Every structure is written in structure tokens, then in C-alpha cells.
Amino acid sequence: MAEKKPYMVFDPPSAPTVATDIPGLAFDFNLGLRVSVPEGKYQVKFIDRAAHLMVYDAPASGATASSNKRYFVDWRLEVWEEDKLIFAHDYLAKDKKVLIKFAWPALGDMLAWFPYAEEFRQKHGCKLWVEVDEVYLNILQPGYPDINFLLPGDERPKDLYATYYLGLFSPWDNRDMQPADWRVAGLQAHGAYLLGLPPEEKRPRLLPSPKAEDIRPQEPYVCIATQATAQAKYWNHPSGWLEVVAYLKELGYRVLCVDRDRVTMHGLHGSTIPYGAEDFTGERPLQERLDLISGAEFFMGLPSGLSWLAWGAGVPVVMIVGFTMPGTEFATPYRVQQFHTCHSCANDQRNEHHYEDFGACPHHRGTDREFECTRCISPDFVKATIQRLLEAEKGRKPSP
């Protein structure tokens, strides 16, 4: 069994990287604000410039002081010797080397947060490197030519001025690792807050490859994805996908299932490609899935990574949801969700989701109400949403 990759490795340079004219005094922003001072009677102050707030004021001698906050803060650093200010620095990343590390392995998280890396680069005028898992490199690099890409284990640039770590850090109410709780703020806004940016929705730039036309069907088609990383994300209606696939075929569409897995088994829970859908599953590169999805009339999926991929490709997305509240994912006018039963447990701050617990249903596990949030989404509701999409998107051409 392959060794599981760590979700995030916090590995800043061993010592602050930015030297000063004062021997023994150095600083950086590679794990929050860090400053090393020589032996002497020094006073170190950390000031949040945006909040006009002194957050640290303490003596230091022959030591390194660091902030508790690991995310972006517009810091001012001051070092005093007795009553004299001997050094001050206001955060300024212009033309400096900055690294953003993305957590492994969730596709949806990556696509939600990556647009803010480019937003950060433009705002600060920095030389930006990003570290991403290899599986995402090919779909992201073409849309972001001004960003330098690294894979885990690659040599990093020397003299990094700052490093930021993007992830969902458990426990989710840990305010040193993240300024807001994603369960309240929403998944994409979480990434914006980590980088000190406005939480405005940003679509990732995902481009079809030159080979896209060679693999796309010539007839009108729809892509679907029925698998997810937790049973609570599935459409748990017993005949839902069967009825909708049949309906799409009656409308004249080919229906391509682009999940990675054709069949999944997790304990008592199992799922398979819907009858009538064409099998485009398997260990395909993400770019190939992007090429297929970007030529579809529309995409149908769940609150999971391939829905984010379709959104990034500019394709209308029908998203069947019970697990999360509106605002957690990107906005789509074709979100299918009912509120008559228990729903949105992912956003309930009483719950700390455990990724290894595939069958979690926090409020009704093992009862006849288990997964009622999506079991009670009727096929007719989904069909009506498809009809509304077709009327609204009439004349839209798929991506070239």
C-alpha cells in the first residue's frame, strides 16, 4: 500500500532569510512574521497595519520571535533598543520572491483557491512560485504563464521573502492557521482570506488543449460525474441518475460519465456508472477530462472536484447538493437543493468532518433518515432544472 502523502508540510527556511544592516538581525514572512535579534536589550513589536493594532510587544535577546498567525497579515516590524527605534520594515513584496504552497489532494479545493494566487501576484507585484501536486500541473500552467510552478520536492528559490500555506487546517476553528471558518465563509472565500484578498468569486483559467477536438464526440453530448469523496456528497436517490440519463438521451444527447472510478466500494456503500451512460472513466489525465467537459453542452455533478473543473472550463454546471449550504461552492443558477429535510451538515459548526469517514451522516447515521438531504431530491426536480438550463443557455457554443 502506497504511503499516504501528508496534507500539508510546513517547511520554511530554517532561519529568517532577509538580512539587515544590523549584524545578527534578520527577518522574513515564511511562517508568519519571523525576526531574529542578536544579544542585547531589544524590544520587538509586530503591528497589523490594516487593523492599526499592536499584536506583539516583548523583549528579545539572542532569540527568534514569530507571529502566531501563519496566513497573510499586512505586518509592520519594529525593533527597538532601549527607547530608540533602530529598525522598521513594512511588508512590501514588490519584486521579491514569494511561495504559495497548496494542500494535497482535493481537486475542488485547488481550483477554488488557485485564482487568488494570481490575484496576489498582481496586487503585490511579486515574483511568485506555487507548489502544487503533479496531477494539477498540466491543467493550471497554461492559464497562468506569469507564475512559476514547482512540484513537491523541487528546489525552491533562495532568499524567499514570504511563504503562504493554503489549506483547510483542522480543527477548523483554529484562528492561528486561518482567519475565518470555511464552513461559514465558503470554500473559495477561505482561500482569499488566507492571502489577505477580497473574497470575490474568481473562476480559474482552465484551457482545453490543442488535442481537444480529436477526443470529443461529434454529436451533442453532456458530461456527468456521479462519484465523490464522501457518501453525503452523492445523489442518494435510488433511481435518480438512471432516470436523468434516460431523459438526457431522449433529448438527443450522448451522456459521458467522466468519473475516475467506474465502480466504488466503501464499506457498506457502493456506486457504479449509471446504466445508459457511456464509459469515459479511468485513470485519465485531468487535461483529457477538461478537454471532454469543455466541449459539452453542460455538465452534471455533485459538490466535488469535477464540478469545479467544469466551472473553470466555462461550462454550465447542474450541481446536485445536500451536503453544503449555498455559498460554499461557486455560484451556479442550476444548483439543485431542497430544504425540507436535514441538510448542509458540512456547514454545521458542531461538526468537524473527518475525511477518512466516507459514510458519515452526522445527524442521522444508521437511521431511516440517513442521507435524506439528497435522497429527497427527485429526478423531476433535476429534469426541470435541465429544462431551465436549456432555455437559458440556448445558442451558447461549447468551448473551442
Question: In the 8-state DSSP scheme, what is residue 34?
Answer: E
Q: At what angle do helices 107-124 and 187-194 cross, to 10 degrees?
A: 40
N residues, the chain: 400
DSSP codes, 76-93? EEEEEETTEEEEEEE---
Alpha helices, DSSP H only, in the chain?
107-124, 134-140, 182-185, 187-194, 212-215, 240-250, 286-294, 305-312, 372-375, 379-392
- Name the amino acid, one letter, at 314: G
Q: How far is CA 337 from CA 89, 153, 250, in A?
A: 50, 42, 24
Q: Is 159 a catalytic residue?
A: no
Q: Name the residue among 236, 388, 399 with its Cα closest to residue 315.
A: 399
Distance CA 267, CA 260 (A): 19
Q: Name the residue among 375, 382, 304, 373 with its Cα closest to residue 336.
A: 382
Catalytic residue among 28, 109, 259, 291: 109
95: its cell numbers: 519584486
Active site residues: 109
